Structure 1
Amino acid sequence: MTEPVERTRAFWQRLGLPGLLDVHVHFLPPPIERAVWRVFDEAGPLIGREWPIRYRQPVDERVELLRSFGVRRFSTLPYAHKPGVATFLNDWSRAFAAEVPEALWSATFYPEPEAPHYVGALVDDGVEIFKVHQQVGGFHLDDPLLAPVWGLLEDAGTPVLVHAGSGPVGTPFTGPGSMARLLATHPRLTVVVAHLGAPESVEFARLAATYERVHLDTSMAVSPFFGEHFDPDVVPLLADLRPRVLYGSDFPTLPFAYVEQLDALAALGLGDDWLRDVCWHNAAALFGVDVAVTDDGARAP
């Protein structure tokens, strides 16, 4: 399989960017990663369709592939699917970020009595982003067990990337309802809505228009593969929300080449300035990425 590396690099080079900042990337402990990939391979009730994963290389090869694309910073986004696994995922992700300088230190939590303790400790230590997955985890964001966690994160300002939309398959826990209730109680939370909240993208965009710390990530949502979940009415809203739209890919669980999502973003017709902000400046501001980057990906002094 030949990767269109040069076409990927040409995308951000044409825009005059130092590279890409991808807020929606997954690196998981190998046993859990294999289990996740089996779910995709089986096209079961959480996936609902054939989804051939393109990027199954070993971890080190996937890191090098992202570097070759010009991805200067990327998340790892573990997500707990049941009680008792968050700490294991968080320890692995912490070690990964310590070894891979491009990685945003990512963590997760789950509605369980221990969550306020380990979330608080991670925030104190400087974790950069959390991920939670309502569809896979089977919980509402305003679960009472999470109430102290949200208060802590609202005060800290640490971003939480949430899979809340009903794509690819909805459950009783997906949709904008519990996020709307949560934000009414914690309006200063820094939230990143995964996949533009597809297929309820318009509703999530309206939440972002109401709450100034709510962001939207583009992963999968604008790609032709995910097309049946894409609501074109969201496009003018994305123009208005330009400072809070963030590029994300969902690498490695992509059924197509990495560059195709960049092409789909450009095809929205929102202009080069919009693309520059989405693919670099907005996330750089959110995560404090202000160092110079050389063309080979190294951080300049």
Structure 2
Amino acid sequence: MKTGSGIELTDQQIELLLGDLIDRYGYDFTDYSRASFKRRVTRLMDQDRFLSFAEFRFRLIDDASYLTRFVEQVTVNVTEMFRDPHFYRTLREQILPVLATWPMIRIWHAGCSTGEEVYSLAILLKEANLQHKAVQYATDINPSVLQTARAGIFPLSQMKQYSENYILSGGRADFSSYYTAQYSSAKFDESLGKRVVLATHNLVSDGTFNEFQLILCRNVMIYFDKALQDKAMRLFYDSLETLGYLALGSKETIKFTSMAHKYKQLEGRERIWRKIA
């Protein structure tokens, strides 16, 4: 594949890059589609005007600060509202009633991407009459996706799917009452984002910044090797109040981490654990 500068990236170079990311930083992108990964690396090399793959590789290995830009450009921000509806039904029926017993509810979306899950939970909180005493902290390493989350504007073409997800999650309202159609976009009610704090945060290098009753980090750590997963789990443990909840993605687990014995998993198929120690 040739870049705008005429540089052609080989499969061998991509494998070298994948190995560098694991060895130097602990980021594991080996499950990414190779074609997609190569396209994104190529585009980044064009944007930042590298003259050779060797120059690009040296910069990535030698300059830890450049990793942030690399991850911003290469990560695939795939998300949707009420993704995995049964997960949201569990939040609605089992988790929120417990959180309601706290005088103040602090929730952290770690790796929030463009914010669809943040708005999904805002709707759950509103319907449970808990929005007035809940604050959602939504963080991501990529500042550009946070701009989308802040605007609360999503493609109108997705609303049919989101409405179906919402109903499967136990929602009973008219989903369209939560947004206003504007040409090809849907703008969600500003009241849903009123108690949302958005900020950049790197799970690999940044520390804890509050004590939460619920932390959601779904489909983020599948790109971390075991050492980084352990580091993130320690961060979540330090950030979670005793008896608080940690929710991960459907392919993620804390079972093999150093923190496993400090949690108890909820019964059922959902990847939700409660901090017990």
Structure-2-length-normalised TM-score: 0.29
Higher strand share: 2
Question: Greater relative contact order: 1 or 2 (C-alpha under 8 angstroms, separation 6 or more)?
Answer: 1
